[in-house]
Amino acid sequence: MNKSLRLLLCVLVPAAAALLSGCERPPIDTVQTGFRGTGMEQIYNPRTLLKQASLNQAPVAPEAASADGPKAKDIYKNVQVLGDLSVAQFSRHMASITQWVAPDAGCAYCHNVENFAEDAKYTKVVARRMIQMTQRVNQDWKPHVAETGVTCYTCHRGNNIPANVWFAPKDRKYANNSVMGDLAGQNLASKSVGLTSLPFDPFTPYLKDAAPIRVNGDSAMVLRGDGVNRSSTKQAEHTYGLMVHMSESLGVNCTYCHNTRDFQSWEQSRPQRVTAWYGIRMARDLNNDYMTPLTDTFPAHRLGPKGDVAKVNCTTCHQGAYKPLYGAAMAKDYPELQSVAKP
Ligand code: HEC
Ligand code: HEC
Ligand code: HEC
Ligand code: HEC
Protein backbone atom coordinates (compact mmCIF):
# COMPACT_ATOMS: atom_id res chain seq x y z
CA MET A 1 0.00 0.00 0.00
CA ASN A 2 1.56 3.31 -0.95
CA LYS A 3 1.82 6.14 1.49
CA SER A 4 -0.81 8.44 0.03
CA LEU A 5 -3.37 5.62 -0.22
CA ARG A 6 -2.77 4.77 3.44
CA LEU A 7 -3.20 8.40 4.31
CA LEU A 8 -6.44 8.53 2.34
CA LEU A 9 -7.75 5.45 4.16
CA CYS A 10 -6.85 7.00 7.49
CA VAL A 11 -9.18 9.84 6.60
CA LEU A 12 -11.92 7.86 4.86
CA VAL A 13 -12.43 5.01 7.30
CA PRO A 14 -13.13 7.17 10.36
CA ALA A 15 -15.22 9.48 8.17
CA ALA A 16 -17.35 6.55 6.97
CA ALA A 17 -17.65 5.24 10.54
CA ALA A 18 -18.75 8.67 11.71
CA LEU A 19 -21.32 8.87 8.93
CA LEU A 20 -22.71 5.40 9.49
CA SER A 21 -22.99 5.82 13.25
CA GLY A 22 -25.90 8.11 12.48
CA CYS A 23 -27.68 5.24 10.72
CA GLU A 24 -29.65 2.46 12.35
CA ARG A 25 -28.11 -0.97 12.71
CA PRO A 26 -29.76 -3.70 10.61
CA PRO A 27 -31.96 -5.74 10.50
CA ILE A 28 -34.69 -3.28 9.56
CA ASP A 29 -38.17 -4.39 8.47
CA THR A 30 -39.97 -2.82 5.54
CA VAL A 31 -43.68 -3.07 4.87
CA GLN A 32 -45.32 -2.07 1.59
CA THR A 33 -48.26 0.18 2.48
CA GLY A 34 -49.58 0.87 -1.00
CA PHE A 35 -48.63 0.84 -4.66
CA ARG A 36 -45.31 -0.93 -5.33
CA GLY A 37 -42.11 1.09 -5.26
CA THR A 38 -40.38 3.03 -2.54
CA GLY A 39 -43.04 5.78 -2.49
CA MET A 40 -45.19 3.79 -0.08
CA GLU A 41 -42.83 1.76 2.03
CA GLN A 42 -42.73 1.80 5.86
CA ILE A 43 -39.39 1.20 7.56
CA TYR A 44 -39.51 -0.30 11.04
CA ASN A 45 -36.76 -1.03 13.49
CA PRO A 46 -37.89 -4.17 15.36
CA ARG A 47 -35.79 -3.22 18.42
CA THR A 48 -37.54 0.14 18.75
CA LEU A 49 -40.91 -1.59 18.41
CA LEU A 50 -40.06 -4.05 21.18
CA LYS A 51 -39.09 -1.25 23.56
CA GLN A 52 -42.20 0.74 22.62
CA ALA A 53 -44.55 -2.19 23.22
CA SER A 54 -43.55 -2.50 26.87
CA LEU A 55 -44.18 1.23 27.41
CA ASN A 56 -47.67 1.07 25.93
CA GLN A 57 -49.56 -1.44 28.07
CA ALA A 58 -53.02 -0.44 29.26
CA PRO A 59 -53.77 -1.13 32.95
CA VAL A 60 -56.31 -3.85 33.76
CA ALA A 61 -59.81 -2.44 34.40
CA PRO A 62 -61.50 -3.07 37.75
CA GLU A 63 -64.76 -5.02 37.67
CA ALA A 64 -67.81 -3.00 36.61
CA ALA A 65 -69.73 -1.52 39.57
CA SER A 66 -73.47 -2.01 40.15
CA ALA A 67 -75.78 0.66 38.76
CA ASP A 68 -78.27 0.01 41.59
CA GLY A 69 -78.78 2.14 44.67
CA PRO A 70 -78.88 5.90 45.15
CA LYS A 71 -77.28 8.22 42.64
CA ALA A 72 -74.15 10.26 43.35
CA LYS A 73 -76.07 13.54 42.99
CA ASP A 74 -78.54 12.43 45.70
CA ILE A 75 -75.83 11.55 48.18
CA TYR A 76 -72.98 13.99 47.53
CA LYS A 77 -73.04 17.78 47.74
CA ASN A 78 -71.03 19.03 44.80
CA VAL A 79 -71.22 16.61 41.90
CA GLN A 80 -71.71 18.55 38.65
CA VAL A 81 -70.78 16.08 35.92
CA LEU A 82 -71.06 12.49 37.10
CA GLY A 83 -74.25 12.86 39.16
CA ASP A 84 -76.18 10.13 37.33
CA LEU A 85 -73.75 7.39 38.31
CA SER A 86 -74.66 5.13 41.21
CA VAL A 87 -72.54 5.68 44.33
CA ALA A 88 -70.70 2.42 43.57
CA GLN A 89 -69.95 3.52 40.01
CA PHE A 90 -68.87 6.95 41.22
CA SER A 91 -66.44 5.40 43.72
CA ARG A 92 -65.02 3.14 41.00
CA HIS A 93 -64.49 6.22 38.83
CA MET A 94 -62.67 8.09 41.64
CA ALA A 95 -60.43 5.06 42.24
CA SER A 96 -59.64 4.84 38.50
CA ILE A 97 -58.74 8.51 38.00
CA THR A 98 -56.56 8.31 41.10
CA GLN A 99 -54.66 5.40 39.54
CA TRP A 100 -54.38 7.19 36.16
CA VAL A 101 -53.45 10.70 37.29
CA ALA A 102 -52.27 10.72 40.90
CA PRO A 103 -51.23 7.23 42.05
CA ASP A 104 -48.67 8.64 44.53
CA ALA A 105 -50.60 11.48 46.15
CA GLY A 106 -53.94 9.64 46.04
CA CYS A 107 -57.29 11.32 46.70
CA ALA A 108 -55.50 14.26 48.34
CA TYR A 109 -54.09 15.34 44.98
CA CYS A 110 -57.51 16.79 44.16
CA HIS A 111 -59.34 16.78 47.48
CA ASN A 112 -59.19 18.29 50.91
CA VAL A 113 -59.84 14.88 52.48
CA GLU A 114 -61.63 16.55 55.40
CA ASN A 115 -64.25 17.80 52.95
CA PHE A 116 -64.51 16.03 49.58
CA ALA A 117 -67.24 18.43 48.37
CA GLU A 118 -65.02 21.50 48.51
CA ASP A 119 -63.44 22.81 45.25
CA ALA A 120 -60.44 24.52 46.92
CA LYS A 121 -57.71 22.65 45.02
CA TYR A 122 -57.22 23.75 41.41
CA THR A 123 -56.48 20.16 40.48
CA LYS A 124 -60.09 19.19 41.26
CA VAL A 125 -61.46 22.01 39.12
CA VAL A 126 -59.14 21.01 36.27
CA ALA A 127 -60.05 17.32 36.70
CA ARG A 128 -63.79 18.09 36.38
CA ARG A 129 -63.13 19.83 33.06
CA MET A 130 -60.85 16.96 32.01
CA ILE A 131 -63.72 14.51 32.56
CA GLN A 132 -65.82 16.61 30.18
CA MET A 133 -62.94 16.84 27.69
CA THR A 134 -62.52 13.05 27.67
CA GLN A 135 -66.27 12.59 27.15
CA ARG A 136 -66.12 15.05 24.27
CA VAL A 137 -63.30 13.14 22.53
CA ASN A 138 -65.14 9.82 22.81
CA GLN A 139 -68.49 11.21 21.72
CA ASP A 140 -67.67 13.80 19.06
CA TRP A 141 -64.27 12.76 17.65
CA LYS A 142 -65.09 9.19 16.62
CA PRO A 143 -63.76 9.89 13.09
CA HIS A 144 -60.40 9.98 14.86
CA VAL A 145 -60.57 7.80 17.98
CA ALA A 146 -63.14 5.28 16.60
CA GLU A 147 -64.40 2.75 19.16
CA THR A 148 -60.95 2.61 20.77
CA GLY A 149 -61.58 5.93 22.49
CA VAL A 150 -59.50 7.54 25.24
CA THR A 151 -59.37 7.67 29.03
CA CYS A 152 -57.30 9.90 31.29
CA TYR A 153 -54.63 7.19 31.11
CA THR A 154 -54.16 7.71 27.34
CA CYS A 155 -52.51 11.06 28.12
CA HIS A 156 -51.51 10.87 31.79
CA ARG A 157 -50.11 7.30 32.14
CA GLY A 158 -49.91 7.65 35.91
CA ASN A 159 -48.38 11.15 35.78
CA ASN A 160 -49.93 14.33 37.22
CA ILE A 161 -48.87 16.10 34.04
CA PRO A 162 -48.82 14.17 30.77
CA ALA A 163 -45.24 13.49 29.68
CA ASN A 164 -45.80 15.26 26.34
CA VAL A 165 -47.38 18.72 26.31
CA TRP A 166 -46.41 21.93 24.54
CA PHE A 167 -46.20 25.65 25.32
CA ALA A 168 -45.54 28.62 23.02
CA PRO A 169 -41.71 28.81 23.13
CA LYS A 170 -40.03 31.98 24.33
CA ASP A 171 -38.61 34.26 21.64
CA ARG A 172 -35.02 33.30 20.89
CA LYS A 173 -32.28 35.29 19.24
CA TYR A 174 -28.72 34.47 18.22
CA ALA A 175 -26.60 35.44 21.21
CA ASN A 176 -25.02 38.86 20.58
CA ASN A 177 -24.59 38.07 16.91
CA SER A 178 -26.45 40.36 14.61
CA VAL A 179 -24.42 39.12 11.61
CA MET A 180 -26.43 35.90 11.67
CA GLY A 181 -29.67 37.83 11.24
CA ASP A 182 -32.99 36.90 12.75
CA LEU A 183 -33.55 33.33 13.96
CA ALA A 184 -37.13 33.66 12.71
CA GLY A 185 -38.33 30.88 15.00
CA GLN A 186 -36.18 28.24 13.32
CA ASN A 187 -32.59 27.23 12.49
CA LEU A 188 -31.94 25.46 15.79
CA ALA A 189 -31.92 21.67 16.08
CA SER A 190 -35.18 21.29 18.00
CA LYS A 191 -36.74 18.25 19.59
CA SER A 192 -40.25 19.41 18.67
CA VAL A 193 -39.40 18.86 14.99
CA GLY A 194 -37.22 15.75 15.23
CA LEU A 195 -33.93 17.65 15.71
CA THR A 196 -34.21 19.35 12.33
CA SER A 197 -33.73 23.10 11.92
CA LEU A 198 -37.34 23.56 10.80
CA PRO A 199 -39.52 26.13 12.64
CA PHE A 200 -39.58 24.86 16.21
CA ASP A 201 -43.15 25.83 16.97
CA PRO A 202 -45.39 24.14 14.40
CA PHE A 203 -48.04 23.86 17.12
CA THR A 204 -49.28 27.45 17.56
CA PRO A 205 -50.16 27.91 13.86
CA TYR A 206 -51.68 24.45 13.32
CA LEU A 207 -52.81 22.90 16.61
CA LYS A 208 -54.18 26.11 18.11
CA ASP A 209 -54.71 28.48 15.21
CA ALA A 210 -55.97 27.14 11.89
CA ALA A 211 -53.28 28.29 9.45
CA PRO A 212 -53.47 26.48 6.09
CA ILE A 213 -51.29 23.38 6.00
CA ARG A 214 -49.85 23.24 2.52
CA VAL A 215 -46.76 23.53 0.43
CA ASN A 216 -47.95 24.23 -3.11
CA GLY A 217 -49.86 27.43 -3.72
CA ASP A 218 -53.16 27.28 -5.55
CA SER A 219 -51.97 30.09 -7.81
CA ALA A 220 -48.54 31.32 -8.93
CA MET A 221 -47.10 34.32 -7.07
CA VAL A 222 -50.49 35.73 -6.19
CA LEU A 223 -50.99 37.37 -2.83
CA ARG A 224 -54.16 36.66 -0.90
CA GLY A 225 -56.56 39.40 0.14
CA ASP A 226 -54.54 40.11 3.29
CA GLY A 227 -51.48 40.84 1.14
CA VAL A 228 -49.51 37.86 2.48
CA ASN A 229 -48.57 34.96 0.26
CA ARG A 230 -49.56 32.09 2.53
CA SER A 231 -47.96 29.55 0.24
CA SER A 232 -44.50 30.95 0.91
CA THR A 233 -41.38 28.92 1.57
CA LYS A 234 -41.81 29.78 5.21
CA GLN A 235 -45.30 28.31 5.19
CA ALA A 236 -43.89 25.16 3.61
CA GLU A 237 -41.25 24.94 6.32
CA HIS A 238 -43.90 25.19 9.01
CA THR A 239 -45.91 22.48 7.27
CA TYR A 240 -42.87 20.19 7.21
CA GLY A 241 -42.28 20.95 10.90
CA LEU A 242 -45.78 19.71 11.71
CA MET A 243 -45.35 16.66 9.48
CA VAL A 244 -42.11 15.70 11.23
CA HIS A 245 -43.90 16.05 14.59
CA MET A 246 -46.76 13.85 13.38
CA SER A 247 -44.40 11.16 12.07
CA GLU A 248 -42.32 11.17 15.23
CA SER A 249 -45.30 11.04 17.54
CA LEU A 250 -46.76 8.01 15.74
CA GLY A 251 -43.38 6.33 15.25
CA VAL A 252 -43.90 6.10 11.48
CA ASN A 253 -42.47 7.44 8.22
CA CYS A 254 -44.20 9.91 5.91
CA THR A 255 -45.30 6.90 3.83
CA TYR A 256 -47.68 5.85 6.62
CA CYS A 257 -50.05 8.48 5.22
CA HIS A 258 -48.61 9.74 1.93
CA ASN A 259 -47.44 8.37 -1.36
CA THR A 260 -44.16 10.27 -1.64
CA ARG A 261 -44.55 10.56 -5.42
CA ASP A 262 -47.31 13.09 -4.69
CA PHE A 263 -47.64 14.34 -1.11
CA GLN A 264 -50.58 16.54 -1.95
CA SER A 265 -52.85 14.00 -3.63
CA TRP A 266 -55.59 12.61 -1.37
CA GLU A 267 -56.46 9.92 -3.95
CA GLN A 268 -53.00 8.42 -3.61
CA SER A 269 -52.83 8.73 0.20
CA ARG A 270 -53.73 6.02 2.68
CA PRO A 271 -56.96 6.23 4.75
CA GLN A 272 -54.76 6.97 7.78
CA ARG A 273 -54.18 10.44 6.31
CA VAL A 274 -57.89 11.16 6.70
CA THR A 275 -57.76 9.98 10.33
CA ALA A 276 -54.80 12.32 10.83
CA TRP A 277 -56.75 15.21 9.24
CA TYR A 278 -59.41 14.76 11.93
CA GLY A 279 -56.69 14.44 14.57
CA ILE A 280 -55.38 17.91 13.72
CA ARG A 281 -58.91 19.39 14.11
CA MET A 282 -59.45 17.45 17.34
CA ALA A 283 -56.20 18.76 18.86
CA ARG A 284 -57.30 22.32 17.97
CA ASP A 285 -60.68 21.75 19.60
CA LEU A 286 -59.13 20.41 22.83
CA ASN A 287 -56.61 23.26 23.00
CA ASN A 288 -59.10 26.05 22.29
CA ASP A 289 -62.22 24.82 24.06
CA TYR A 290 -60.73 23.00 27.05
CA MET A 291 -57.07 23.81 27.75
CA THR A 292 -56.83 27.55 27.01
CA PRO A 293 -59.95 28.51 29.03
CA LEU A 294 -58.31 26.78 32.05
CA THR A 295 -55.31 29.14 31.94
CA ASP A 296 -56.39 31.19 34.97
CA THR A 297 -57.28 28.06 36.95
CA PHE A 298 -53.67 26.86 36.89
CA PRO A 299 -51.07 28.33 39.26
CA ALA A 300 -48.41 30.48 37.55
CA HIS A 301 -45.69 27.83 37.89
CA ARG A 302 -47.66 25.47 35.66
CA LEU A 303 -47.76 28.00 32.80
CA GLY A 304 -45.25 28.34 29.95
CA PRO A 305 -42.65 31.09 29.33
CA LYS A 306 -45.32 33.21 27.63
CA GLY A 307 -47.97 32.58 30.27
CA ASP A 308 -49.96 30.05 28.25
CA VAL A 309 -51.30 26.77 29.59
CA ALA A 310 -49.84 23.36 28.67
CA LYS A 311 -51.49 22.06 25.51
CA VAL A 312 -52.10 18.84 23.61
CA ASN A 313 -50.31 17.64 20.47
CA CYS A 314 -50.20 14.26 18.73
CA THR A 315 -47.54 12.92 21.11
CA THR A 316 -49.69 13.66 24.18
CA CYS A 317 -51.85 10.64 23.30
CA HIS A 318 -49.76 8.62 20.81
CA GLN A 319 -46.38 8.61 22.61
CA GLY A 320 -44.59 6.95 19.70
CA ALA A 321 -47.31 4.42 18.80
CA TYR A 322 -49.38 4.45 15.58
CA LYS A 323 -52.42 4.06 17.87
CA PRO A 324 -52.14 5.07 21.55
CA LEU A 325 -51.46 1.98 23.67
CA TYR A 326 -51.30 0.09 20.34
CA GLY A 327 -55.07 0.29 20.03
CA ALA A 328 -55.95 -1.23 23.43
CA ALA A 329 -59.66 -0.40 23.72
CA MET A 330 -59.65 0.53 27.41
CA ALA A 331 -62.29 3.27 27.13
CA LYS A 332 -65.14 0.74 26.74
CA ASP A 333 -64.68 -0.29 30.38
CA TYR A 334 -65.60 3.26 31.49
CA PRO A 335 -69.07 3.98 30.08
CA GLU A 336 -69.23 7.21 32.10
CA LEU A 337 -66.50 8.62 29.81
CA GLN A 338 -68.24 7.68 26.55
CA SER A 339 -70.62 10.59 26.13
CA VAL A 340 -70.96 14.17 27.30
CA ALA A 341 -72.96 14.21 30.54
CA LYS A 342 -76.13 16.31 30.44
CA PRO A 343 -76.07 18.97 33.15
C1 HEC B 1 -57.70 13.80 39.69
C2 HEC B 1 -58.56 14.44 40.66
C3 HEC B 1 -59.33 13.57 41.64
C4 HEC B 1 -58.84 12.55 42.41
C5 HEC B 1 -57.41 12.00 42.46
C6 HEC B 1 -59.94 12.10 43.22
N7 HEC B 1 -61.05 12.85 42.95
FE8 HEC B 1 -62.86 12.71 43.92
N9 HEC B 1 -63.58 14.20 42.75
C10 HEC B 1 -62.92 14.80 41.70
C11 HEC B 1 -63.85 15.63 40.97
C12 HEC B 1 -63.52 16.45 39.73
C13 HEC B 1 -65.10 15.53 41.61
C14 HEC B 1 -66.39 16.21 41.18
C15 HEC B 1 -67.05 15.39 40.09
C16 HEC B 1 -68.26 16.05 39.46
O17 HEC B 1 -68.45 17.27 39.62
O18 HEC B 1 -69.05 15.32 38.77
C19 HEC B 1 -64.89 14.64 42.76
C20 HEC B 1 -65.86 14.34 43.70
C21 HEC B 1 -65.70 13.45 44.74
C22 HEC B 1 -66.69 13.18 45.77
C23 HEC B 1 -68.02 13.87 45.94
C24 HEC B 1 -67.94 14.89 47.08
C25 HEC B 1 -69.19 15.73 47.24
O26 HEC B 1 -69.85 15.65 48.29
O27 HEC B 1 -69.53 16.46 46.29
C28 HEC B 1 -66.18 12.21 46.56
C29 HEC B 1 -66.84 11.56 47.78
C30 HEC B 1 -64.88 11.86 46.04
N31 HEC B 1 -64.61 12.65 44.94
C32 HEC B 1 -64.05 10.91 46.57
C33 HEC B 1 -62.78 10.63 46.12
C34 HEC B 1 -61.93 9.61 46.68
C35 HEC B 1 -62.31 8.69 47.85
C36 HEC B 1 -60.74 9.65 46.01
C37 HEC B 1 -59.52 8.77 46.17
C38 HEC B 1 -59.77 7.34 46.01
C39 HEC B 1 -60.86 10.70 45.02
N40 HEC B 1 -62.09 11.27 45.10
C41 HEC B 1 -59.84 11.07 44.14
C42 HEC B 1 -61.59 14.66 41.40
C43 HEC B 1 -60.73 13.75 41.98
C1 HEC C 1 -55.95 14.57 25.64
C2 HEC C 1 -55.06 14.43 26.76
C3 HEC C 1 -55.63 14.45 28.16
C4 HEC C 1 -56.63 13.65 28.67
C5 HEC C 1 -57.44 12.59 27.96
C6 HEC C 1 -56.74 14.00 30.06
N7 HEC C 1 -55.86 14.98 30.39
FE8 HEC C 1 -55.59 15.82 32.21
N9 HEC C 1 -54.21 17.11 31.43
C10 HEC C 1 -53.86 17.18 30.11
C11 HEC C 1 -53.00 18.32 29.90
C12 HEC C 1 -52.38 18.75 28.59
C13 HEC C 1 -52.86 18.94 31.17
C14 HEC C 1 -52.07 20.21 31.51
C15 HEC C 1 -50.78 19.86 32.15
C16 HEC C 1 -50.47 20.75 33.32
O17 HEC C 1 -51.00 20.47 34.42
O18 HEC C 1 -49.70 21.67 33.18
C19 HEC C 1 -53.63 18.15 32.11
C20 HEC C 1 -53.72 18.44 33.47
C21 HEC C 1 -54.49 17.72 34.36
C22 HEC C 1 -54.55 17.97 35.79
C23 HEC C 1 -53.75 19.05 36.53
C24 HEC C 1 -52.44 18.48 36.97
C25 HEC C 1 -51.53 19.48 37.65
O26 HEC C 1 -50.88 19.07 38.61
O27 HEC C 1 -51.43 20.62 37.21
C28 HEC C 1 -55.41 17.06 36.34
C29 HEC C 1 -55.78 16.92 37.79
C30 HEC C 1 -55.91 16.25 35.24
N31 HEC C 1 -55.32 16.66 34.07
C32 HEC C 1 -56.83 15.22 35.38
C33 HEC C 1 -57.34 14.47 34.32
C34 HEC C 1 -58.39 13.50 34.46
C35 HEC C 1 -59.06 13.11 35.76
C36 HEC C 1 -58.63 12.99 33.21
C37 HEC C 1 -59.66 11.98 32.77
C38 HEC C 1 -61.02 12.22 33.17
C39 HEC C 1 -57.70 13.66 32.30
N40 HEC C 1 -56.95 14.55 33.00
C41 HEC C 1 -57.64 13.41 30.93
C42 HEC C 1 -54.22 16.29 29.11
C43 HEC C 1 -55.17 15.30 29.24
C1 HEC D 1 -50.17 10.51 10.19
C2 HEC D 1 -50.34 10.92 8.82
C3 HEC D 1 -49.29 11.78 8.18
C4 HEC D 1 -47.92 11.60 8.22
C5 HEC D 1 -47.13 10.53 8.94
C6 HEC D 1 -47.36 12.64 7.41
N7 HEC D 1 -48.35 13.43 6.91
FE8 HEC D 1 -48.12 14.99 5.62
N9 HEC D 1 -50.12 15.41 5.72
C10 HEC D 1 -51.04 14.69 6.46
C11 HEC D 1 -52.31 15.39 6.43
C12 HEC D 1 -53.58 14.95 7.15
C13 HEC D 1 -52.13 16.55 5.64
C14 HEC D 1 -53.18 17.62 5.32
C15 HEC D 1 -53.36 18.53 6.52
C16 HEC D 1 -54.50 19.51 6.39
O17 HEC D 1 -54.80 19.94 5.26
O18 HEC D 1 -55.08 19.85 7.42
C19 HEC D 1 -50.74 16.53 5.20
C20 HEC D 1 -50.15 17.49 4.38
C21 HEC D 1 -48.86 17.41 3.90
C22 HEC D 1 -48.29 18.30 2.91
C23 HEC D 1 -49.00 19.46 2.24
C24 HEC D 1 -49.62 19.03 0.93
C25 HEC D 1 -50.28 20.20 0.27
O26 HEC D 1 -51.50 20.15 0.14
O27 HEC D 1 -49.58 21.15 -0.09
C28 HEC D 1 -47.00 17.90 2.70
C29 HEC D 1 -45.99 18.49 1.74
C30 HEC D 1 -46.73 16.79 3.59
N31 HEC D 1 -47.88 16.51 4.29
C32 HEC D 1 -45.52 16.16 3.72
C33 HEC D 1 -45.24 15.19 4.68
C34 HEC D 1 -43.91 14.72 4.97
C35 HEC D 1 -42.64 15.18 4.30
C36 HEC D 1 -44.04 13.79 5.97
C37 HEC D 1 -42.93 13.02 6.70
C38 HEC D 1 -41.94 13.84 7.36
C39 HEC D 1 -45.46 13.68 6.27
N40 HEC D 1 -46.15 14.56 5.48
C41 HEC D 1 -45.99 12.82 7.21
C42 HEC D 1 -50.80 13.50 7.11
C43 HEC D 1 -49.54 12.95 7.37
C1 HEC E 1 -56.90 12.52 22.45
C2 HEC E 1 -55.89 11.55 22.06
C3 HEC E 1 -55.35 11.64 20.65
C4 HEC E 1 -54.70 12.71 20.08
C5 HEC E 1 -54.43 14.08 20.68
C6 HEC E 1 -54.33 12.28 18.76
N7 HEC E 1 -54.75 11.00 18.54
FE8 HEC E 1 -54.48 9.91 16.83
N9 HEC E 1 -55.52 8.36 17.63
C10 HEC E 1 -56.05 8.32 18.91
C11 HEC E 1 -56.72 7.04 19.11
C12 HEC E 1 -57.42 6.59 20.37
C13 HEC E 1 -56.58 6.30 17.90
C14 HEC E 1 -57.06 4.88 17.59
C15 HEC E 1 -58.31 4.87 16.73
C16 HEC E 1 -58.62 3.50 16.18
O17 HEC E 1 -58.54 2.52 16.92
O18 HEC E 1 -58.90 3.40 14.97
C19 HEC E 1 -55.83 7.17 16.99
C20 HEC E 1 -55.50 6.82 15.68
C21 HEC E 1 -54.74 7.59 14.82
C22 HEC E 1 -54.40 7.23 13.47
C23 HEC E 1 -54.82 5.94 12.74
C24 HEC E 1 -53.76 4.88 12.85
C25 HEC E 1 -54.12 3.65 12.05
O26 HEC E 1 -53.19 2.92 11.71
O27 HEC E 1 -55.29 3.41 11.78
C28 HEC E 1 -53.63 8.24 12.96
C29 HEC E 1 -53.03 8.31 11.58
C30 HEC E 1 -53.52 9.25 13.99
N31 HEC E 1 -54.21 8.83 15.10
C32 HEC E 1 -52.83 10.45 13.84
C33 HEC E 1 -52.84 11.48 14.78
C34 HEC E 1 -52.22 12.77 14.56
C35 HEC E 1 -51.46 13.17 13.33
C36 HEC E 1 -52.46 13.51 15.69
C37 HEC E 1 -52.05 14.95 15.97
C38 HEC E 1 -52.48 15.94 15.01
C39 HEC E 1 -53.22 12.69 16.61
N40 HEC E 1 -53.43 11.47 16.02
C41 HEC E 1 -53.65 13.10 17.85
C42 HEC E 1 -55.95 9.32 19.86
C43 HEC E 1 -55.37 10.57 19.68
pLDDT truncated to tens, each residue of the chain (343 aa)? 566 666 565 666 555 555 555 566 777 777 777 777 777 777 777 777 777 777 788 899 999 999 999 999 999 999 999 999 999 999 999 999 999 999 999 999 999 999 999 999 999 999 999 999 999 999 999 999 999 999 999 999 999 999 999 999 987 776 555 566 667 788 777 888 888 888 889 999 999 999 989 887 666 655 555 555 556 777 788 899 999 999 999 999 999 999 999 999 999 999 999 999 999 999 999 999 999 999 999 999 999 999 999 999 999 999 999 999 999 999 999 999 999 987 6
Which residues, 6 or more positions from 324, have their beta carbon under 8 angstroms from its beta carbon? 56, 148, 150, 154, 317, 318
User: What is the predicted pLDDT for the residue at 21?
Assistant: 52
User: What is the predicted pLDDT for the residue at 271?
Assistant: 96
User: What is the predicted pLDDT for the residue at 10?
Assistant: 60
d(CA 35, CA 57) in angstroms, rounded, equals 33
Residue 64, CB-side half-sphere exposure with 13 Å CA sphere: 11
129 lines ligand 1 (CB under 6 A): no
Ligand number nearest CA of 210 is: 3
User: What is the predicted pLDDT for the residue at 3?
Assistant: 66
Q: How far does the centroid of ligand 2 lie from the alpha carbon of residue 139, in Å?
A: 18
Output the residue whose Cα is nearest ligand 3's atom 22. Answer: 214
Q: How far does the centroid of ligand 3 lie from the alpha carbon of residue 246, in Å?
A: 9
Q: Which atom of ligand 3 is nearest to the CA of 194?
A: 38
Which residues, 6 or more positions from 234, have their beta carbon under 8 angstroms from its beta carbon? 184, 199
C-alpha closest to that of 317 among 271, 274, 282, 273: 282
Ligand 2 binding pocket (C-beta < 6 A) is: 97, 101, 110, 123, 126-127, 130-131, 134, 150, 152, 154-156, 160-162, 165, 286, 291, 302, 310, 312, 316-317
Ligand 4 binding pocket (C-beta < 6 A) is: 137, 144-146, 148, 150, 154, 246, 250, 272, 275-276, 279-280, 283, 312, 314, 316-318, 322-324, 327
322 lines ligand 1 (CB under 6 A): no
Output the residue whose Cα is nearest ligand 4's atom 12. Answer: 145
User: What is the predicted pLDDT for the residue at 343?
Assistant: 64
Q: Which atom of ligand 1 is nearest to the CA of 105?
A: 5
User: What is the predicted pLDDT for the residue at 219?
Assistant: 60
d(CA 290, CA 241) in angstroms, rounded, equals 25
Q: How far does the centroid of ligand 3 lie from the alpha carbon of residue 257, in Å?
A: 7
User: What is the predicted pLDDT for the residue at 227?
Assistant: 53
Q: How far does the centroid of ligand 1 lie from the alpha carbon of residue 222, in Å?
A: 56
d(CA 321, CA 48) in angstroms, rounded, equals 11
Q: How far does the centroid of ligand 1 lie from the alpha carbon of residue 98, in Å?
A: 9
Q: Which atom of ligand 1 is nearest to the CA of 76?
A: 26
- Cα–chain center distance at 63: 30
Output the residue whose Cα is nearest ligand 1's atom 18. Answer: 81
Q: Which atom of ligand 3 is nearest to the CA of 206?
A: 18
